[in-house]
Structure formats: C-alpha cells, structure tokens
Chain A
Amino acid sequence: MYNFAYRLTLDQDDSKDLVQDTYMKAYRFIDSFQQGTNAKAWLFRILKNSFINDYRKKSKEPSKVDYQEVESYYNSDEVDRQITPDLRVEALKDMIGDEISNALNSLDVDFRTVIILCDLEGFKYDEMAKILDIPIGTVRSRLHRARNLLKEKLSEYAKQMGYKTA
C-alpha cells in the first residue's frame, strides 16, 4: 500500500497521508466490501480513487484531456514500430543504482500504475480492471505501452552507461 502510494504521489508525506486516508475510508465503508472478494484489490481501489480525487487535482499532473491525447498517440501504429526492444540483459545487470526507479517514476501516472499493480503487486488482469475501472483489454494494451516506454527509458540509460544498443 505504502509503496503504491509513494509511486503515485512521489512524495513521502503525501504517500503517508494517502495510506492513512485509505485505511480510514476502508474502515468507514467496510460494509461495501463484499465478503469473499479480494481485500487487497479492494484497498488498492480505494487508494487509487483517493489519489485521483484528492491528490491529482492539486498536483501538476497533466489533466484528463491531455492524457487522452497521450493515449491516442501511444496507441498509434507508428509508435509501435518506433519502439524496438534493443535493450540488453547485460546492461540491466549494471543498473545497480536508481536507474530503474527513476525510469518508472518518469512515466505518466497511468502507465506507472499498471506496472506497479502488475509487476510489483502481482495483481491479475481482471483484478487490475476492477481497481482501475477499465476493461481488461485496456489493461493489456496499457501494460504493453507502459513496458515499451519503460524499456525506451532504460535503453537511454544504457546508452549513457556506454552500452551500444543493437
């Protein structure tokens, strides 16, 4: 929970507040929790909604409209062709500092979110769809774009470290 909050807000104090808010809301709305469903996913959904409602407004994150433009851009075939995974495993092994963390944090919050939920928290596509209120197909495509963007960023770092990309 804390890690998700931290990766969303990128601020230690904000993430503490966000986690606290989430637990208090969960406590208050415990009746809306359906027995037998995934409690972790339910908590993450509350956290995500709190973030959008309370934090995203204040921050300098791009507005929803900007984001839609971003998504339609990334959904175009042209971008798909540009992104080639020319990054190598050996280069990753040398990334012992904050490279990957910085790369992840540099992604647009919606792309960052799917990577955190899937790769760090181990949620399944159907759980992510519920947490984010989007269809499973969107989860898949967003995850695909997010990983390509992350790889792009990582290959920039690899180049700076002197790795030649093929």
Chain B
Amino acid sequence: MSNPDQSHMKQDCETKRECMQLLQLIVDGEATHEQTTDFLSNHLEHCMPCYKTYHLEMAIRQLLKLKCISQAPPELVDTIKAKVIQNLAD
C-alpha cells in the first residue's frame, strides 16, 4: 500500500461504525472484491482513523501469527500414528 500524505487526511471519520464493520470483513477476507478495492482506494487513503485502524489490525494479525503458533511435539505425532496403525490392525 502507498504511503499517503498524512497532512491532507481527515482526522475524523463520519461513518466510523459502518467503516469498522467493513474493515473487519476486509481483514477477515469476507468482504467482496468490490467492497475491498473501493474501501482501500477511495476511503482509506483519505481517512486517518480508518487508515490507523486498518494498519493496526494487520499488525496484530501478523504478530499473532508470528508469536502464537506452537508446533506439535514430534512424539505426539508418532504416538497418534502408532495408535491409528494399531487400530487398523485390530
């Protein structure tokens, strides 16, 4: 995404409630392609609160993915494999 000239952005969003709902759909990939491109190109670059919220939401998701995923211990995988094989043999 481009880096908009922040001095020309509006500081208040008059459609905040609707925008927050749409933003949630966009970050979750549940908005339509039209909704997403329209919002990102026509609203976000001009509206400071929405711009900030969007980038904050994306940053939180990135951090979650980076910090909150732990891999299964290898012995667990082995145990489950062994049990399934045993079940198949029964």
Q: Is B56 an interface residue (CB 8 A)?
A: yes
**Complex Cα spacing A158 to B72, Å:** 31
Residues on B with C-beta less than 8 A from A87 are 56
Complex Cα distance A98/B64, Å?
10
Within 8 A of B (CB), among A133-166: 140, 143-144, 147, 150-151, 154
User: Within the assembled complex, what's the spacing in Å between the Cα atoms of A165 and B57?
Assistant: 16
In the complex, the answer to whether B65 meets A120 with C-beta atoms within 8 Å is yes
In the bound complex, do residue A125 and residue B70 qualify as a contact, i.e. CB atoms below 8 Å apart? Answer: no
A92, B66: Cα distance in complex, Å: 12
Chain A residues bordering chain B, tally (CB within 8 A): 37
Contacts of A150 in B (CB 8 A): 60
State whether the Cβ of B76 lies closer than 8 Å to any Cβ in chain A.
yes
B34 smallest CB distance to A (angstroms): 18
Chain B neighbourhood of A85, CB < 8 A: 52-53, 56
A120 to B66, CA, bound (A): 9
Within the complex, the shortest CB–CB distance from A134 to chain B, in Å, comes to 16
| Cα-based distance from A143 to B20 in the complex (angstroms) | 13
Q: Any chain A CB within 8 A of the CB of B87?
A: yes
CB pair A16–B76 under 8 Å, yes or no, is yes
Binary contact track A87-110/B, C-beta < 8 Å → 1, others 0: 111001101001011001000000
Assess the A144–B24 pair: CB atoms within 8 A: yes
A95 to B59, CA, bound (A): 11
Are A140 and B76 CB-contacts (below 8 A) given A2-B71, A88-B56?
Answer: no
CB distance from B56 to the nearest CB of A (A): 6
Contacts from B to A (Cβ < 8 Å): 24, 28-30, 52-53, 55-57, 59-61, 63-65, 67-73, 76, 79-80, 83-84, 87
A interface residues (Cβ-Cβ under 8 A, vs B): 1-3, 6-7, 12, 16, 19-20, 23-24, 27, 85, 87-89, 92-93, 95, 98, 100-101, 104, 115-116, 118-120, 124-125, 140, 143-144, 147, 150-151, 154
Return 6 A-B CB contacts under 8 Å, by A number: A2-B72, A16-B76, A24-B83, A120-B64, A143-B28, A144-B24
